[in-house]
Chain A
Amino acid sequence: MTRDMIINLCVFAILVATAVGAHLGGQGFTVTLATKAAILGLAGVGLNLALGYGGLVSFGHAAFFGIGGYVTGIFAFHASSGEPILTLPFALMGSNEMLGIWPMAMLAAGLVALLIGALSLRTTGVYFIMVTLAFAQMIFYFAISWPRYGGEDGLSFYVRNTFPGVNTLVPINYFAICAALLALALIFTALVTQSRFGLALQATRQNEQRSTAVGIRATPVRLTAFVLSAMITALAGSLYADLNRFVSPAMFSWHMSGEIMVFVILGGVGRLCGPLAGAAVFILLEHLLGPITEHWQALLGLMLLAIVLFAPGGLIGLITLGLDRIRGGKADV
């Protein structure tokens, strides 16, 4: 097993241990915090595929997070009202089955990502950032002005969606579902980044001209990564909606896009468990410092600044460096 794999397993194990420990100690709220970390970490894992491995700095991933959330909310809403979601061109009924909702959420986000990606990948650099942001803002304003599903106020649903054989309302059970999906997404990412596709994706990030010269077109590779990335983030949005039993346009806001990006950068760009570590630290800071001062994000800002300036490998990179110092090995941040 490689050193990186050990670190990744440790990060994941800490998350699970926190939730299980809190559950045994009767700390339901901490279980919910750990669930939130798993979900936001998953959103970051999605973005990391595009940003970390593909070099696509998407400032619009809130769009996919929100789509995942709204699909979930809308299905749950219609399941309780009994009205069909669509009658034309085909009848689509509401549902409160997670196993049915997740693929729908991912499919919807994937289709939107295909469109957004196809248009925004014509640009690069800061223009790409701005175009993805613009698309997310469009969807944000659309959600605000769509009264059918709550408009600005968002949409509540009173019962968490169901999963066969599991009472999803028990916090530790819902944590287990989220952690399992996170684990699947991590395994998927690990496999993809080492596959032929991963080789091509990372090559186009580092040297597009060289990739073209060996017969690899950058745009289809990047578009595929962008769509996969959006689908993972949408799954996180779906889980987030079920965690809160509430969706609101805030899920589409550029703050959300920024937060997902912060998880990735804080934890380590292009590091498998980086986004999870980033999300966990973010939630920890919010939880510990939030009650003390409302300016806790200033500290977060300082941390982010320090990371960007001195440890581009993020928290995971720092841990790696620390382990190497202890072992006297060679640094590789």
Chain B
Amino acid sequence: MSDPILSIRGLKKSFGALTATDDVSLDLLPGEIHALIGPNGAGKSTLIKQIVGEIRPDHGTITFEGQVIDRLDAAARARLGLARSFQVSSVIADFTVLQNVMLAVAGADGHVFRFLRPALRDTALTEPALFHIGHAGLAGREGVKASVLSHGERRKLEIAMALALRPRAFLLDEPMAGMGLEGAKQLTTILSDLRAEAPILLVEHDMDAVFALADRISVLVYGRIIATGTVAEIRSNPQVRDSYLGEEA
């Protein structure tokens, strides 16, 4: 087995009496889509926030590509290639598609403090940005303001921005949320291709998508991972059936 890209060990986080993350350990292996499922309130979002550096865990260690990243802030982790998408689409609304992705390119290369050269004439920004826009399936929409994009297009824009970070791992927080049936199918194909770029830690409620995409699944209940395994193993795990999948599976 190859070394994990992202490795989480003994992560704990409490908010007062509530233990949101209870001794979670998790590996994201090269080339895999690792789905994280669990009922509402299981602590999935809290876990994601600790991985990206938005909140600090009380205990535990996160290793990313062999480097302990516990002390790095969210911006520094992003620059290492930890690319994140949000549960609710989050883009710069007043920017065009191109400007949004250019921003991500600038953030990734770390050269933000350049004051006089017009960004739109900076081919070190525009060329990679156009490439990623094409890759995410938004070619021809470069000049459109993000605020007028459809929901699905905004999801694609987020993926283009994630690609611009030269990602080493994706953290996708419910990418299917709010997508129609057709949109979800399209996105499933895109995510499946994304696996070739970098492994994906996928938080998702859409079980069809999870079962179609995931190589491995971890089930989070009350802040604890109760099972990790392949799709078949998780489907047949009695504990998981009881606590989460219920009659659905």
In the bound complex, CA of A56 to CA of B115 (Å)? 19
Q: Which of B94-151 contact A (CB under 8 A)?
A: 94-95, 99, 102-104, 106-108, 110-120, 122, 125
Task: Write the A86-125 contact mask toward B (1 if CB under 8 angstroms, else 0).
Answer: 0000000000000000000000000000000000000000
A216–B113 CB distance below 8 A: no
Instruction: Indicate if B58 sits at the interface (CB-CB under 8 A).
Output: no
Q: Which of B176-210 contact A (CB under 8 A)?
A: none
Residue from A192, A200, A214, A217 having most chain B Cβ neighbours under 10 A: A214
Instruction: Indicate if A297 sits at the interface (CB-CB under 8 A).
Output: no
Binds B, one of A143-151, A205-213, A235-243, A277-285: A205-213
B104–A214 CB distance below 8 A: yes
B144 shortest CB reach to chain A, Å: 14
Instruction: Indicate if A3 sits at the interface (CB-CB under 8 A).
Output: no
Instruction: Indicate if B232 sits at the interface (CB-CB under 8 A).
Output: no
Q: Which of B1-27 contact A (CB under 8 A)?
A: none
In the bound complex, CA of A217 to CA of B107 (Å)? 9
Contact partner of B161 among A194, A199, A212, A214, CB < 8 A?
A214
Residue from A191, A196, A209, A216 having most chain B Cβ neighbours under 10 A: A196
B103–A195 CB distance below 8 A: no
Query: How many B residues, CB 8 Å from partner?
Result: 40
Which chain B residues lie closer than 8 Å to A221 at the CB level? 112
Known contacts: A195-B117, A214-B165. The answer to whether A206 contacts B93 by CB under 8 A is yes
Query: How many A residues, CB 8 Å from partner?
Result: 24
In the bound complex, CA of A195 to CA of B79 (Å)? 20
Which chain A residues lie closer than 8 Å to B112 at the CB level? 196-197, 200, 216, 221
B65 shortest CB reach to chain A, Å: 16
Q: Which of A171-224 contact B (CB under 8 A)?
A: 191-192, 194-200, 202-203, 206-207, 209-217, 221, 224
Which chain A residues lie closer than 8 Å to B220 at the CB level? none
Q: Which of B77-101 contact A (CB under 8 A)?
A: 78-79, 83-84, 86, 90-95, 99
Task: Write the B206-238 contact mask toward A (1 if CB under 8 angstroms, else 0).
Answer: 000000000000000000000000000000000
A215–B116 CB distance below 8 A: no
Known contacts: A213-B78, A215-B79, A217-B75. The answer to whether A206 contacts B92 by CB under 8 A is yes
Residue from B83, B94, B111, B161 having most chain A Cβ neighbours under 10 A: B94
Residue from B95, B115, B161 having most chain A Cβ neighbours under 10 A: B115
Instruction: Indicate if B164 sits at the interface (CB-CB under 8 A).
Output: yes
In the bound complex, CA of A217 to CA of B116 (Å)? 20
In the bound complex, CA of A198 to CA of B115 (Å)? 7
Which chain A residues lie closer than 8 Å to B54 at the CB level? 209, 212
Contact partner of B84 among A192, A202, A213, A217, CB < 8 A?
A213
Which chain A residues lie closer than 8 Å to B113 at the CB level? 196-197, 224
Task: Write the A14-53 contact mask toward B (1 if CB under 8 angstroms, else 0).
Answer: 0000000000000000000000000000000000000000
Which chain B residues lie closer than 8 Å to A217 at the CB level? 73, 75
A215–B92 CB distance below 8 A: no
B99–A192 CB distance below 8 A: no
B75–A215 CB distance below 8 A: yes
Q: Could you list 8 examples of A-B contacts with CB < 8 Å?
A: A195-B118, A196-B117, A196-B119, A199-B106, A209-B86, A211-B92, A213-B86, A216-B106
| B interface list, Cβ under 8 A from A | 52, 54, 73-76, 78-79, 83-84, 86, 90-95, 99, 102-104, 106-108, 110-120, 122, 125, 161, 164-165
| A interface list, Cβ under 8 A from B | 191-192, 194-200, 202-203, 206-207, 209-217, 221, 224
6 closest A-B pairs by beta carbon, nearest first, are A215-B107, A214-B107, A215-B78, A215-B79, A214-B104, A216-B107
